[in-house]
Amino acid sequence: MLKESHTIDMCSGSLPKKMILFAVPLILSSLLQLMFNAVDLVVVGQFVNDTAVGAVGSTSALINLIVNLFMGLSVGTNVLTARYVGSGREEDASETVHTSILISVVCGFLLAFVGVLFAKPMLALMGSPEGVIDQAALYLRIYFLGMPIMMLYNFGSAILRAIGDTRRPLYYLTVSGIVNVLMNLFFVIVLKRGVDGVAWATVISQGLSAILILNNLYHSEHCCRLIPSKLKITASKLKGIAQIGIPAGIQGCIFSASNVLIQSSVNSFGDAAISGSAAAANLEGFVYVSMNAFHHTVLSFTGQNYGAGKFDRVRKTLFWGLLYVTLVGGVLGNLVVLLRVPLLNLYISGADAISYGITRIFMINTLYFLCGTMDVAVGSLRGMGFSLVPMFVSLAGVCGFRVVWIFTYFRAHHTLSMLFVSYPISWSVTFAAHLAVYFLWARKKRLAAS
C-alpha cells in the first residue's frame, strides 16, 4: 500500500502530535462551514427581507432531523474503512469504499424524493407560520434536490478521514465555501432571486465539493482508490456499515427530536427568551464543532489501531482525546462566558433578550467540555465497532433524562436556569455511563492493560 503525503499514519509515531495534526483541519473545516452557512442568512437578510431569513432559518431543524439517520451511515463507513486500513486488508477496504459510494447515492436520491414530495406537509406539521411556509418549502425542495451530491461529499470525506487525510477536505470546503458566497450574491443581487437563489447556490457549491472529493479518490494511489468498474454493494460491507452507522443515525435523529422539546420549553418564556436563547445557541455552535473534531479524531484513530491489533494505542487515543477536548471545550466555552455581552450584542440588542442569553451561556458554556468528553467516549466505542449499546446509553442519559427533567423538576421550578441545567447534568451522567461501558468492553478485549 502506497503512503500519500496528505495522510497520517495513525498506527505508529507520536499519538498526541498526530491527533492534533488530524483534528486542527477538522476544526477549521467545521468553523468555515458554520460561517458559510451564516452567509446564507446574511445575504437574504440584507438583500431580500426578514421573511426570507425566517424561511431559510426555519428549515434547519427539519433538515437535521431527516438527514441525521443517513449521515450516521457515514460514521459506519469511517470506522469500517479505518479498521481494514489498519489491519492491512486492502481488498476489504476497497470493497467498503465502493459500497459506501453507492450507498451515498442511493441515500441521496431517497432523501431527494422525500424532501421534494413532503417539504410543505412536514413544515406544516412543525407549525411553520403561513407567512414563511411557502418560501421555506421552496428552499427545502431545492436543497433536497442536491442531496445525492451532498451525500457523496460526506461519505467521501468520511473515507478520507479514515485514511488520515483531513487537510484536503478543508481545502475543498474552502473553495466551495467561497463559491457559495459568490453564487449567493450573484443569484440574489444580480438575478434578483430570493430563497431559491440561496438554495441553488448551496447545491452548486456542494456539487463542487463532491466533484473534488471524487476526483481525489479517483486519482488516489491508496488502497481506497475509487475505480468506477468496481462500484457495487458488497453485502458483508453493507452489513458492517449498517451495524455501526444505523445506531449512530438513530441517536442523531432522536437528539434532534429532544432538542425540539427543549425549544418548545424555551418558547414558553416568550419572544425575548427565544431570541436570547437562539443567539446563545449560535455561539455554542462554534464551541461544539471545535470539540466534535476530537470525536471524529478518536473515531478514526481507534478504528485503525483496533484493526491493527494495537490495543494500547486504542486506550491512549481515548486518553488524549479526553484531554484535548477538555482543554478546547473548557477554554472556548469559558471564553464565550467571559465575552458574553459583546458577543450577544452581535445578534440581539434588547436588554431582556440579552439577559436570557446570558443565563443560557452561564448554564451551558461553563461546563460545555462535558459534552465533548461524552462524544469522545462514544467515538472510542464506535471506533471499536461497538455502536448499539452507546446508542441506548446516550438516548437514556441525554434524551430520556431531559424529557423526565422537563416534566418533573422543570415543571415544579419553571425558570430558564432550571431548564438549561439539565444539559451539564445529562452530559455528566452519560459520560460516566459511557466510560463504564468502555472499561467493561476494554477488560473483555484486554484493552485496559498497558
pLDDT on residue 1: 42
Distance CA 126, CA 120 (A): 10
In a domain, 77, yes or no: yes
Residue 59 has a pLDDT of 66
| DSSP secondary structure string for all residues of 377-390 | HHHHHHHTT--HHH
Residue pair 222/7 in contact (Cβ under 8 Å)? The answer is yes
Quote the percentage of the chain above a pLDDT of 70.
89
Give the model confidence (pLDDT) of 215-238 as tens digits: 999 998 888 899 999 999 999 999
Model pLDDT for residues 348-371, shown as the tens digit of each residue: 777 888 898 899 999 999 999 999
On whether both 289 and 405 belong to a single domain, the answer is yes
Q: What is the pLDDT of residue 215?
A: 93
Q: Are residues 140 and 80 in the same domain?
A: yes
Q: Are residues 237 and 273 in the same domain?
A: no
Same domain, 348 and 427: yes
When pLDDT is averaged across residues 428-441 and rounded to a whole number, the result is: 90
CB atoms inside a 10 Å sphere around CB 279: 22
| Range with the poorest average pLDDT among 192-206, 251-265, 367-381, 395-409 | 251-265
pLDDT tops 60 at residue 449? no
pTM for this predicted structure:
0.82
13 within domain boundaries? no
| pLDDT given at position 211 | 94
Beta strand ranges found along 28-117 (DSSP E) = none
Q: How is residue 166 written as a grid cell?
A: 483531513
Residues 235 and 284 reside in one and the same domain? no
User: What number is the average pLDDT over the span 20-25?
Assistant: 91
- Residue 79 belongs to a domain: yes
- Listed range (48-62, 88-102, 356-370) with the worst mean pLDDT: 48-62
**448 pLDDT band (50/70/90 cuts)?**
very low
- pLDDT (0 to 100) of residue 5: 58
pLDDT tens readout for residues 384-423: 888 888 888 988 888 888 888 988 988 888 888 898 899 9
C-alpha cell, 203: 447545491
Same structural domain, 287 and 326: yes
Q: What's the domain count of the chain?
A: 2
Q: Say how far apart CA 57 and CA 40 lie, in whole Å.
A: 9
Mean pLDDT of the residues in the chain = 85
| pLDDT at residue 58 in the model | 57
The parent domain of residue 336 ranges over: 268-450
pLDDT-derived band at 51 (thresholds 50, 70, 90) equals low
